[in-house]
Homo-oligomer: A and B are copies of this chain.
Amino acid sequence: MLQEGKYLVIKPALLIIDMQNDFIREGSPLRIGGAGAAIGNMADILDLFRVKGHPVIHVLRIHRQDGSDVEISRRDLFRKTPFAVEGTPGSEVISELSPRSGEYIIHKTRMSAFMGTDLDLLLRSLGADTLFVTGVQTPNCIRTTVFDAFALNYETYLVDDAVAAQTPEIHQSNVRDMAAIGIHIVKTEEIRGFL
């Protein structure tokens, strides 16, 4: 837990997952209902990582226009309502969290930020051993990324008030399962003292 951080040197990296207009903005057909309240916390954590000079990694779902790289089970949805299409405003990071020069961008086509990407290689190259995970949405892209991080032996902190799901109940049942395997569940305000 974070308390041990007083005696340990951790090499942290921040993951901000899928905070793109298509998934967040009011009126977007694929909007995650509970995301609004978490944005301010993500912005606070992003500021902290920037001030401290720790790596920031923006993980984005980006699809080709023809949808050939969408999960087969989601092709019908994509045809009806294309989402996260490369080059469109909907695929861009929301303005509150816009990436800056020196920050990393990872494009993915699946839920887990590790699947089919060079995220693991990047983290090893950076020497990062501890991940702080933020973004949307808790049961899907957040949880698959967290479980893969666990399997790949990263010390993983889920920032409970900087991730979101469609409903608080869905969020909470997933946080329960992640805590049960040993993921550290923390609040935004707890992070400051340890970086």
Contact = CB atoms under 8 A, between A and B. Distances in A.
Nearest to A138: B177
A185 to B, nearest CB: 14
Nearest to A109: B151
A174 interface: yes
A112 interface: yes
A71 B151 contact: yes
Interface string A49-89: 00000000000000000000001111000000000000000
A101 B110 CA distance: 36
Nearest to A153: B72
Nearest to A116: B151
A115 interface: yes
A9 interface: no
A40 to B, nearest CB: 26
B177 A147 contact: no
A165 to B, nearest CB: 9
Contacts of A73: 150, 153, 155, 181-182
Interface in A130-175: 139-140, 144, 147-148, 150-151, 153, 155, 170, 173-174
Closest 10 CB pairs of A and B: A173-B173, A139-B177, A110-B151, A73-B182, A72-B153, A144-B147, A115-B151, A111-B151, A73-B150, A71-B151
Interface of A: 71-74, 110-112, 115, 139-140, 144, 147-148, 150-151, 153, 155, 170, 173-174, 176-177, 180-182
